Every structure is written in C-alpha cells, then in structure tokens.
Amino acid sequence: MSSLQTDDLIALSLLINEDIYVLKDEETEKKSPETSIKTVETAQIEEVKPAPIPQKTFDYLGDNNKYILIVVKEASADFLTPPDLTFLLKILVAKKLELSDVAIINIEKITAPNFDDLKNFFAFNKIITFGINPQLLHITGAVANKKSIFKEIPILGTWDLQKLQADKSKKAIFWEELKNF
C-alpha cells in the first residue's frame, strides 16, 4: 500500500484532529538549556487554524472522464450552439472519444479565466481551444494549429468551430495536428 500525500488544507484538517500550536520565542536558541525550559513553559501558545482556500468552480458540459478540457468562446449559448456542438461531437467520434470523455467550457461565461484555476478544478492532461487566444488563459508560447506544451500540459489551439466547418483547408490543417494530439 502506498502512502498518501496532500497539500490540501481542507483534507489535512479532516485527517488531523489534534490541535497544533506554535511557540513564539526567538531567544530560546541563545539561552542555556535550563533557561530554555523555563521560557518554553511561559511562552504564549497560539492555536494555528488553516485558512480556507476558496476553490473556483466552473459550469461545464461533459463528464471529463479522460481529463481533456475543451475551451470555446460562444457569446450566444451557454456552451455551444447546436450546429457547433454537432460538429464538435463528430470530431470527438473521429478521435474515438465521447462527450463524457471531455469537459467543455465557454470562456464567455467565466470571469477572469486562467490556466491554473482551470487546472486545479479539472485536473486535465490536455487542453484544446477553439477560437480563442490562449493568452486569455495566461498560456504563453502556444502556436496556432501546432501542439504546444505549457506547464507540462499539451495544448492545441485552432480556429473557432464555425470557421472550421466553413473552410475545408482549415479543417484539414487542424485534423492533421489533432490526429497525433
């Protein structure tokens, strides 16, 4: 059995049910052992409570079973318009994926989106963006229609779904890169 490790303060607070105290005394190291004992006995004891870390939550479409995040920008729909969703589902089927394998978010519905918040919430191992500049998510170094790596996560950004549907050459460029993604 392997040991479990976590940095999550909420999880730690549930696992550790004993009080933790901090002894404040800067002079302890400088004094003799006899004096140190007296100082520790008279030191002020302060209870340390972990500060709650607010977790940003997101509305998304899909179940994220394969930890693939798809980011779109669609002002007129909660996630995607029906024609765009149908087209995206055809792309997923071609990659032997289903809607349940991915999480789809619409950054038009998110205030101040950034990569780290998304990574903490979705725990994705790949991200595909349609019609957005990856810098909106604080992703740097991404090249359109080329697999890029940011913080050890593969990223593929391309045109929005309407442009891909309308232009066969753009669709072919995207598909060639997506096949190996």
Q: Summarize pLDDT for 164-181 with one digit per residue, the tens.
A: 999 999 999 999 999 988
pTM > 0.75? no
Based on its alpha-carbon atoms, the radius of gyration of the chain, rounded to whole angstroms, reads 25
Q: Count how many domains the chain has.
A: 2
Residue 53 lies in a domain: no
Higher per-residue pLDDT: 32 or 20: 20
- Domain extent for 32: 9-47
Residues 160 and 107 in one domain: yes
Residues 127 and 162 in one domain: yes
Residues 71 and 136 in one domain: yes
pLDDT of residue 165: 93
Residues 88 and 149 in one domain: yes
Residues 25 and 78 in one domain: no
Contact 146, 123 (CB under 8 A): no
CA 116 from chain centre, in angstroms, equals 5
Residue 52 lies in a domain: no
Distance CA 5, CA 20 (A): 19
Q: C-alpha distances in angstroms, 61 versus 81, 83, 113, 132, 134?
A: 12, 15, 17, 18, 20
Distance CA 107, CA 58 (A): 10
What is the SS3 assignment for 140?
Answer: coil
Write phi, then psi, for 23 (nearest 5 degrees): -95, 125
Q: Which CATH number fits the domain that encloses residue 103?
A: 3.40.470.10
Residue 56 lies in a domain: no
Distance CA 9, CA 154 (A): 29
Is the four-CA dihedral 170, 176, 177, 181 of positive or negative sign? positive
Residues 167 and 88 in one domain: yes
Higher per-residue pLDDT: 31 or 102: 102
The yes-or-no verdict on residue 152 having pLDDT over 90 is: yes
Segment 42-59 mean pLDDT: 65
Residue 109 lies in a domain: yes
Residues 80 and 163 in one domain: yes
Residue 159 lies in a domain: yes
Residues 29 and 72 in one domain: no
Contact 133, 140 (CB under 8 A): no
The yes-or-no verdict on residue 6 having pLDDT over 90 is: no
- For 87-98, the pLDDT digits (tens) are 999 999 999 999
The yes-or-no verdict on residue 71 having pLDDT over 90 is: yes
Residues 39 and 84 in one domain: no
Distance CA 88, CA 26 (A): 62
Residues 82 and 38 in one domain: no
pLDDT of residue 134: 87
Residues 91 and 174 in one domain: yes
Residues 39 and 75 in one domain: no
Distance CA 102, CA 89 (A): 11
